[in-house]
């Protein structure tokens, strides 16, 4: 399934810079009412400001409403996303849950999503992989690295004022 208005961000582990990259791009394209999504396989406790939209066996979908926490979804909202959705989902429901979230989003709207697993099912307009010298809990995403449009190290972002990407005709395009 090809979704050109989706910019997908994966990382080589925790603290690899996925949310930092998402926030940079959201800030760069604030005027476009970017929608952000974070998908996690971890069913940890929800934080204040997460408004439950669906809570079913195997998944839960929330809308972030709080810009004052240090959680990734709160950071995305604070960066300027028009809406931020957070999903906790088991792998076997991933595509179902993603499609359920996409049903909430206007067709063709710019979407940025943190989820490495989603790349196994969807071809986004742009796919970025983040890594860092201080990455924790390394993930084996070697099979995805060949599919990336670009790879960044978190440490490189300090020297970049904007990401070479554009959104036109309802499509994310990475500019080499």
The CA distance from 26 to 144, in Å, is 23
Q: Which three-class secondary structure state does DSSP give residue 145?
A: helix
This prediction's pTM: 0.94
* Contact indicator for 124, 114 with CB cutoff of 8 Å: no
The CA distance from 89 to 168, in Å, is 31
pLDDT, tens digit (0-9, with 9 covering 90-100), for 10-39: 998 888 999 999 999 999 999 999 999 999
Compute the mean pLDDT over every residue in the chain, rounded to the nearest whole number. Answer: 92
pLDDT, tens digit (0-9, with 9 covering 90-100), for 50-107: 999 999 999 999 999 999 999 999 999 999 999 999 999 988 999 999 999 999 999 9
Which pLDDT score, from 0 to 100, does residue 41 have?
A: 85
How many other β-carbons are positioned within 10 Å of the β-carbon of residue 173?
15
The CA distance from 168 to 160, in Å, is 22
Give the burial string for 65-86 (b: 16+ CB within 10 Å, else e).
ebbebebbbbbbbbbbbbbbbb
pLDDT higher than threshold 70 for residue 148 = yes
Q: ∠15-17-23 over CA atoms, to 5°?
A: 130
| Displacement of CA 167 from its chain's centroid (Å) | 16
For residue 25, what are the CA distances in angstroms to 9, 127, 166?
11, 13, 10
Closest-CA residue to 131 (of 122, 123, 140) = 140
Pick the CATH number of 2-174 from 3.40.1130, 1.10.3470, 3.40.50, 3.30.1490: 3.40.50
Which pLDDT score, from 0 to 100, does residue 135 have?
A: 65
Going from N- to C-terminal start, the domains of the chain cover 2-174
């Amino acid at each position: 399934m090809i979704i050109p208005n989706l910019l997908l961000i994966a990382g080589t582990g925790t603290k690899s810079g996925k949310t930092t990259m998402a926030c940079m791009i959201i800030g760069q394209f604030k005027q476009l009412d970017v929608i952000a999504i974070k998908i996690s396989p971890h069913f940890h406790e929800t934080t204040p400001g997460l408004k439950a939209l669906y809570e079913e066996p195997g998944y839960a979908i929330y809308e972030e409403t709080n810009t004052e926490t240090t959680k990734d979804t709160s950071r995305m909202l604070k960066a300027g996303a028009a809406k931020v959705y957070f999903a906790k989902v088991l792998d076997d429901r991933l595509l179902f849950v993603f499609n359920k979230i996409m049903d909430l989003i206007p067709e063709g709207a710019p979407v940025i999503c943190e989820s490495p697993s989603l790349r196994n099912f969807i071809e986004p307009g742009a796919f970025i992989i983040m890594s860092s010298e201080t990455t924790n809990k390394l993930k084996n995403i070697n099979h995805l690295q060949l599919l990336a449009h670009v790879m960044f190290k978190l440490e490189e972002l300090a020297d970049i004022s904007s990401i070479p990407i554009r959104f036109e005709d309802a499509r994310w395009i990475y500019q080499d």
